[in-house]
Amino acid sequence: MVSSSNTFSLSLILFLSFSSFFSPSQSHNKVSLELYYESLCPYSADFIVNYLPQIFQHDLLSIVDLKLVPWGNAKLKANKTFDCQHGPDECLLNTVEACAIDIWPQLDKHFAFIYCIEDLALHRKRKEWESCYEKLGLNATLVDDCYRSERGNELDLKFANETNALQPPHEYVPWVVVDGKPLLEDFENFISYICKAYQGTDAPKICTQASYLSTVREVEAKGKHSFCDMERVMSTWNKIRSTIASWTSQMNFLVAM
Ligand SMILES: *[C@@H]1O[C@H](CO)[C@@H](O)[C@H](O)[C@H]1NC(C)=O
Ligand SMILES: *[C@@H]1O[C@H](CO)[C@@H](O)[C@H](O)[C@H]1NC(C)=O
Ligand SMILES: *[C@@H]1O[C@H](CO)[C@@H](O)[C@H](O)[C@H]1NC(C)=O
Protein backbone atom coordinates (compact mmCIF):
# COMPACT_ATOMS: atom_id res chain seq x y z
CA MET A 1 0.00 0.00 0.00
CA VAL A 2 1.27 3.48 -0.87
CA SER A 3 1.27 5.75 2.17
CA SER A 4 -0.15 9.22 1.82
CA SER A 5 3.21 10.84 2.62
CA ASN A 6 4.80 8.98 -0.29
CA THR A 7 2.05 10.20 -2.55
CA PHE A 8 2.69 13.70 -1.32
CA SER A 9 6.48 13.52 -2.04
CA LEU A 10 5.77 12.15 -5.46
CA SER A 11 3.43 15.04 -6.26
CA LEU A 12 6.02 17.48 -4.95
CA ILE A 13 8.74 15.99 -7.14
CA LEU A 14 6.43 16.07 -10.13
CA PHE A 15 5.51 19.66 -9.36
CA LEU A 16 9.16 20.74 -9.06
CA SER A 17 10.27 19.04 -12.24
CA PHE A 18 7.22 20.46 -13.94
CA SER A 19 7.97 24.02 -12.86
CA SER A 20 11.66 23.82 -13.70
CA PHE A 21 10.67 22.47 -17.10
CA PHE A 22 8.44 25.46 -17.76
CA SER A 23 10.71 28.18 -16.44
CA PRO A 24 14.26 27.38 -17.55
CA SER A 25 15.03 31.09 -17.89
CA GLN A 26 14.90 31.68 -14.15
CA SER A 27 18.36 30.30 -13.52
CA HIS A 28 20.20 32.56 -15.96
CA ASN A 29 17.56 35.21 -16.48
CA LYS A 30 17.90 35.32 -20.25
CA VAL A 31 15.26 33.97 -22.57
CA SER A 32 16.52 31.53 -25.16
CA LEU A 33 15.47 32.20 -28.74
CA GLU A 34 16.37 29.53 -31.25
CA LEU A 35 15.87 29.71 -34.98
CA TYR A 36 15.99 26.47 -36.96
CA TYR A 37 16.15 27.37 -40.63
CA GLU A 38 17.63 26.61 -44.01
CA SER A 39 19.44 29.18 -46.10
CA LEU A 40 17.31 29.16 -49.25
CA CYS A 41 13.84 28.77 -47.82
CA PRO A 42 12.30 32.14 -48.75
CA TYR A 43 10.28 32.19 -45.51
CA SER A 44 13.42 31.63 -43.43
CA ALA A 45 15.14 34.44 -45.32
CA ASP A 46 12.12 36.70 -44.81
CA PHE A 47 12.14 36.03 -41.06
CA ILE A 48 15.88 36.70 -40.77
CA VAL A 49 15.78 39.88 -42.83
CA ASN A 50 12.43 41.39 -41.89
CA TYR A 51 11.65 40.22 -38.35
CA LEU A 52 14.64 38.94 -36.41
CA PRO A 53 16.62 42.25 -36.53
CA GLN A 54 14.03 43.67 -34.11
CA ILE A 55 16.00 42.07 -31.27
CA PHE A 56 18.86 44.46 -32.04
CA GLN A 57 16.59 47.49 -32.12
CA HIS A 58 14.76 47.41 -28.83
CA ASP A 59 17.32 46.55 -26.19
CA LEU A 60 16.04 43.01 -26.36
CA LEU A 61 19.55 41.58 -26.59
CA SER A 62 19.94 42.23 -22.88
CA ILE A 63 17.32 39.57 -22.17
CA VAL A 64 17.73 37.20 -25.14
CA ASP A 65 20.19 34.48 -26.08
CA LEU A 66 19.80 33.99 -29.83
CA LYS A 67 20.96 30.79 -31.42
CA LEU A 68 20.85 30.17 -35.16
CA VAL A 69 20.77 26.60 -36.45
CA PRO A 70 21.23 26.36 -40.23
CA TRP A 71 20.10 22.89 -41.23
CA GLY A 72 16.31 22.78 -41.53
CA ASN A 73 14.86 20.05 -43.69
CA ALA A 74 18.17 18.73 -45.02
CA LYS A 75 18.38 14.95 -44.94
CA LEU A 76 21.42 13.01 -43.81
CA LYS A 77 22.57 10.23 -46.11
CA ALA A 78 25.22 7.57 -45.75
CA ASN A 79 28.84 8.79 -45.72
CA LYS A 80 27.96 11.93 -43.78
CA THR A 81 26.66 13.53 -46.97
CA PHE A 82 23.24 15.12 -47.17
CA ASP A 83 20.55 16.47 -49.47
CA CYS A 84 19.10 19.92 -49.00
CA GLN A 85 15.52 20.86 -49.79
CA HIS A 86 16.54 23.63 -52.21
CA GLY A 87 19.48 21.82 -53.76
CA PRO A 88 23.29 22.02 -53.59
CA ASP A 89 23.40 25.84 -53.33
CA GLU A 90 21.41 25.57 -50.13
CA CYS A 91 23.82 22.97 -48.72
CA LEU A 92 26.72 25.26 -49.58
CA LEU A 93 25.16 28.31 -47.93
CA ASN A 94 24.04 26.32 -44.87
CA THR A 95 27.67 25.28 -44.44
CA VAL A 96 28.98 28.80 -45.03
CA GLU A 97 26.59 30.12 -42.37
CA ALA A 98 27.48 27.29 -39.97
CA CYS A 99 31.16 28.21 -40.42
CA ALA A 100 30.44 31.90 -39.80
CA ILE A 101 28.67 31.06 -36.52
CA ASP A 102 31.64 28.95 -35.45
CA ILE A 103 34.33 31.43 -36.50
CA TRP A 104 32.61 34.58 -35.24
CA PRO A 105 30.75 33.39 -32.14
CA GLN A 106 29.89 36.99 -31.35
CA LEU A 107 26.26 37.39 -32.39
CA ASP A 108 26.47 40.79 -34.06
CA LYS A 109 29.29 39.61 -36.30
CA HIS A 110 27.87 36.33 -37.57
CA PHE A 111 24.36 37.73 -37.70
CA ALA A 112 25.45 40.59 -39.95
CA PHE A 113 27.04 38.12 -42.35
CA ILE A 114 24.06 35.74 -42.33
CA TYR A 115 21.64 38.66 -42.72
CA CYS A 116 23.63 39.83 -45.76
CA ILE A 117 23.48 36.39 -47.41
CA GLU A 118 19.79 35.93 -46.63
CA ASP A 119 19.00 39.38 -47.98
CA LEU A 120 20.65 38.40 -51.27
CA ALA A 121 18.79 35.06 -51.26
CA LEU A 122 15.51 36.89 -50.73
CA HIS A 123 16.26 39.03 -53.80
CA ARG A 124 17.29 36.09 -55.99
CA LYS A 125 20.96 37.06 -55.87
CA ARG A 126 22.29 34.17 -53.84
CA LYS A 127 25.19 33.61 -56.26
CA GLU A 128 26.63 36.94 -55.09
CA TRP A 129 26.95 35.78 -51.47
CA GLU A 130 30.73 36.31 -51.45
CA SER A 131 30.16 40.04 -51.81
CA CYS A 132 29.10 39.97 -48.13
CA TYR A 133 32.72 39.72 -46.98
CA GLU A 134 33.62 42.97 -48.60
CA LYS A 135 30.39 44.75 -47.70
CA LEU A 136 31.00 43.96 -44.04
CA GLY A 137 34.78 44.22 -44.04
CA LEU A 138 35.16 40.58 -43.01
CA ASN A 139 38.17 38.42 -43.79
CA ALA A 140 37.06 35.67 -46.19
CA THR A 141 39.92 33.28 -45.49
CA LEU A 142 38.61 31.63 -42.33
CA VAL A 143 35.10 30.92 -43.61
CA ASP A 144 36.40 29.81 -47.02
CA ASP A 145 38.84 27.39 -45.40
CA CYS A 146 36.08 26.09 -43.16
CA TYR A 147 33.33 25.38 -45.68
CA ARG A 148 35.74 23.73 -48.11
CA SER A 149 37.16 21.42 -45.45
CA GLU A 150 36.09 18.62 -43.13
CA ARG A 151 35.39 21.28 -40.48
CA GLY A 152 32.42 22.54 -42.47
CA ASN A 153 31.01 19.03 -42.66
CA GLU A 154 31.45 18.50 -38.91
CA LEU A 155 29.55 21.70 -38.18
CA ASP A 156 26.73 20.64 -40.51
CA LEU A 157 26.46 17.35 -38.64
CA LYS A 158 26.43 19.16 -35.32
CA PHE A 159 23.50 21.35 -36.47
CA ALA A 160 21.80 18.29 -37.99
CA ASN A 161 21.97 16.62 -34.59
CA GLU A 162 20.61 19.66 -32.80
CA THR A 163 17.74 19.90 -35.26
CA ASN A 164 16.96 16.20 -35.05
CA ALA A 165 17.00 16.32 -31.26
CA LEU A 166 14.17 18.89 -31.15
CA GLN A 167 11.24 17.90 -28.90
CA PRO A 168 8.68 18.18 -30.35
CA PRO A 169 10.39 17.68 -33.72
CA HIS A 170 10.26 20.57 -36.18
CA GLU A 171 7.57 20.35 -38.83
CA TYR A 172 8.79 23.08 -41.14
CA VAL A 173 11.12 26.06 -41.27
CA PRO A 174 11.45 28.71 -40.05
CA TRP A 175 10.96 26.92 -36.71
CA VAL A 176 11.23 29.41 -33.87
CA VAL A 177 11.60 28.18 -30.30
CA VAL A 178 11.36 30.45 -27.24
CA ASP A 179 12.52 28.89 -23.98
CA GLY A 180 12.00 25.42 -25.40
CA LYS A 181 8.51 26.10 -26.72
CA PRO A 182 7.96 26.13 -30.49
CA LEU A 183 5.94 29.13 -31.70
CA LEU A 184 4.54 27.19 -34.65
CA GLU A 185 2.83 29.54 -37.08
CA ASP A 186 2.89 32.46 -34.68
CA PHE A 187 6.66 32.92 -35.11
CA GLU A 188 6.31 36.44 -36.45
CA ASN A 189 4.99 37.39 -33.03
CA PHE A 190 8.18 36.15 -31.31
CA ILE A 191 8.78 39.31 -29.29
CA SER A 192 5.54 38.84 -27.35
CA TYR A 193 6.69 35.35 -26.39
CA ILE A 194 10.11 36.63 -25.32
CA CYS A 195 8.55 39.34 -23.16
CA LYS A 196 6.14 36.84 -21.68
CA ALA A 197 8.89 34.32 -20.92
CA TYR A 198 11.18 36.88 -19.32
CA GLN A 199 11.23 36.48 -15.53
CA GLY A 200 13.50 39.37 -14.63
CA THR A 201 12.41 42.74 -13.31
CA ASP A 202 14.26 44.95 -15.79
CA ALA A 203 12.28 44.14 -18.94
CA PRO A 204 13.06 46.35 -21.95
CA LYS A 205 10.54 49.09 -22.61
CA ILE A 206 9.19 47.39 -25.70
CA CYS A 207 7.77 44.63 -23.49
CA THR A 208 5.41 47.15 -21.88
CA GLN A 209 3.95 48.26 -25.20
CA ALA A 210 0.39 47.20 -25.74
CA SER A 211 1.06 45.31 -28.94
CA TYR A 212 3.54 43.04 -27.15
CA LEU A 213 1.43 42.56 -24.06
CA SER A 214 -1.34 41.03 -26.07
CA THR A 215 -2.12 37.45 -25.30
CA VAL A 216 -0.59 34.84 -27.43
CA ARG A 217 -2.54 34.24 -30.61
CA GLU A 218 -1.50 30.74 -31.55
CA VAL A 219 -4.85 29.60 -32.78
CA GLU A 220 -5.54 32.68 -34.87
CA ALA A 221 -2.09 32.38 -36.40
CA LYS A 222 -2.85 28.98 -37.83
CA GLY A 223 -2.78 29.09 -41.60
CA LYS A 224 -1.46 32.65 -41.53
CA HIS A 225 2.02 31.74 -42.63
CA SER A 226 3.79 30.00 -45.41
CA PHE A 227 6.83 27.94 -44.61
CA CYS A 228 9.12 25.32 -46.11
CA ASP A 229 7.72 21.93 -45.36
CA MET A 230 9.29 18.75 -46.70
CA GLU A 231 6.15 16.74 -46.07
CA ARG A 232 3.69 19.17 -47.60
CA VAL A 233 3.56 17.52 -51.02
CA MET A 234 3.09 14.17 -49.36
CA SER A 235 0.39 15.31 -46.97
CA THR A 236 -1.54 17.01 -49.78
CA TRP A 237 -1.45 13.74 -51.66
CA ASN A 238 -2.64 11.84 -48.58
CA LYS A 239 -5.53 14.29 -48.18
CA ILE A 240 -6.59 13.76 -51.79
CA ARG A 241 -6.37 10.01 -51.33
CA SER A 242 -8.48 10.02 -48.18
CA THR A 243 -11.05 12.29 -49.87
CA ILE A 244 -11.26 9.84 -52.75
CA ALA A 245 -11.53 6.97 -50.28
CA SER A 246 -14.44 8.66 -48.50
CA TRP A 247 -16.20 9.36 -51.84
CA THR A 248 -15.72 5.74 -52.78
CA SER A 249 -17.23 4.51 -49.53
CA GLN A 250 -20.15 6.93 -49.95
CA MET A 251 -20.70 5.62 -53.47
CA ASN A 252 -20.64 2.06 -52.18
CA PHE A 253 -23.16 3.02 -49.56
CA LEU A 254 -25.48 4.56 -52.18
CA VAL A 255 -25.09 1.54 -54.43
CA ALA A 256 -25.92 -0.75 -51.52
CA MET A 257 -29.09 1.27 -50.90
C1 LIG B 1 30.64 5.99 -49.35
O2 LIG B 1 31.97 6.33 -49.64
C3 LIG B 1 32.72 5.25 -50.18
C4 LIG B 1 34.16 5.72 -50.35
O5 LIG B 1 34.25 7.06 -50.62
C6 LIG B 1 32.08 4.82 -51.48
O7 LIG B 1 32.80 3.71 -52.01
C8 LIG B 1 30.64 4.42 -51.24
O9 LIG B 1 30.02 4.10 -52.46
C10 LIG B 1 29.88 5.54 -50.57
N11 LIG B 1 28.54 5.10 -50.21
C12 LIG B 1 27.47 5.83 -50.42
C13 LIG B 1 26.17 5.22 -49.99
O14 LIG B 1 27.49 6.94 -50.93
C1 LIG C 1 42.77 36.98 -43.24
O2 LIG C 1 43.00 35.98 -42.25
C3 LIG C 1 44.08 35.13 -42.57
C4 LIG C 1 44.09 33.99 -41.54
O5 LIG C 1 43.87 34.47 -40.25
C6 LIG C 1 45.37 35.92 -42.60
O7 LIG C 1 46.44 35.08 -42.92
C8 LIG C 1 45.23 37.01 -43.67
O9 LIG C 1 46.37 37.83 -43.66
C10 LIG C 1 43.99 37.86 -43.42
N11 LIG C 1 43.79 38.75 -44.55
C12 LIG C 1 43.57 40.04 -44.40
C13 LIG C 1 43.37 40.81 -45.65
O14 LIG C 1 43.52 40.58 -43.31
C1 LIG D 1 25.31 13.17 -34.04
O2 LIG D 1 24.59 12.11 -33.42
C3 LIG D 1 25.06 10.82 -33.76
C4 LIG D 1 24.16 9.78 -33.14
O5 LIG D 1 23.10 10.30 -32.44
C6 LIG D 1 26.50 10.66 -33.29
O7 LIG D 1 26.98 9.39 -33.66
C8 LIG D 1 27.35 11.73 -33.92
O9 LIG D 1 28.66 11.67 -33.41
C10 LIG D 1 26.78 13.10 -33.65
N11 LIG D 1 27.56 14.05 -34.43
C12 LIG D 1 27.91 15.22 -33.97
C13 LIG D 1 28.73 16.07 -34.88
O14 LIG D 1 27.59 15.62 -32.87
**How many folded domains does the chain comprise?**
1
Residue 109 belongs to some domain of the structure: yes
Residues of the domain holding 91: 8-229
Task: Indicate the top mutation candidate among 139, 142, 145, 151 to test ligand 2's pocket, ranked by most ligand atoms within 8 A of CB.
Answer: 139
Q: CATH number, domain at 203?
A: 3.40.30.10
Cβ within 8 Å of residue 186, ≥6 positions away: 193, 216, 217, 218, 221, 224
Q: Whose CA is nearest to atom 1 of ligand 1?
A: 79
The closest of 25, 44, 21 to 195, measured between CA atoms, is 25
CA of 154 to the centre of ligand 3 (A): 9
Residue 113 belongs to some domain of the structure: yes
CA of 156 to the centre of ligand 1 (A): 19
Nearest-angstrom CA–CA distance, 67 and 195: 17
Q: Whose CA is nearest to atom 5 of ligand 3?
A: 161
Alpha helices by DSSP H, 123-203 = 131-136, 140-147, 150-164, 190-197
Q: Whose CA is nearest to atom 2 of ligand 2?
A: 141
Q: Which ligand number lies closest to the CA of residue 81?
A: 1
Residue 241 belongs to some domain of the structure: no
- pLDDT for 251 equals 59
Residue 58 near ligand 3, beta carbon < 6 Å: no
pTM of the full structure: 0.77
Cβ within 8 Å of residue 198, ≥6 positions away: 25, 31, 63, 207
Residue 124 belongs to some domain of the structure: yes
Q: Whose CA is nearest to atom 3 of ligand 2?
A: 141
- pLDDT for 28 equals 55
Q: What is the pLDDT along the chain (257 residues), one digit of tens a residue?
A: 444 444 434 443 343 333 334 444 444 589 999 999 999 999 999 999 999 999 998 889 999 999 999 999 999 998 888 999 999 999 999 999 999 999 999 999 999 999 999 999 999 999 999 999 999 999 999 999 999 999 999 999 999 999 999 999 999 999 999 999 999 999 999 999 999 999 998 899 999 887 776 545 544 556 667 899 976 544 544 555 555 556 556 655 555 55
Residue 40 belongs to some domain of the structure: yes
Nearest-angstrom CA–CA distance, 174 and 121: 15
Residue 141 near ligand 2, beta carbon < 6 Å: yes
CA of 168 to the centre of ligand 1 (A): 33
Residue 80 belongs to some domain of the structure: yes
Q: Whose CA is nearest to atom 7 of ligand 1?
A: 79
CA of 75 to the centre of ligand 1 (A): 17
* Closest atom of ligand 3 relative to the 154 alpha carbon: 13
Residue 2 belongs to some domain of the structure: no
Residue 94 belongs to some domain of the structure: yes
Residue 211 near ligand 1, beta carbon < 6 Å: no
Q: Whose CA is nearest to atom 10 of ligand 1?
A: 79
Nearest-angstrom CA–CA distance, 171 and 169: 6
* Closest atom of ligand 3 relative to the 160 alpha carbon: 1
- pLDDT for 223 equals 63
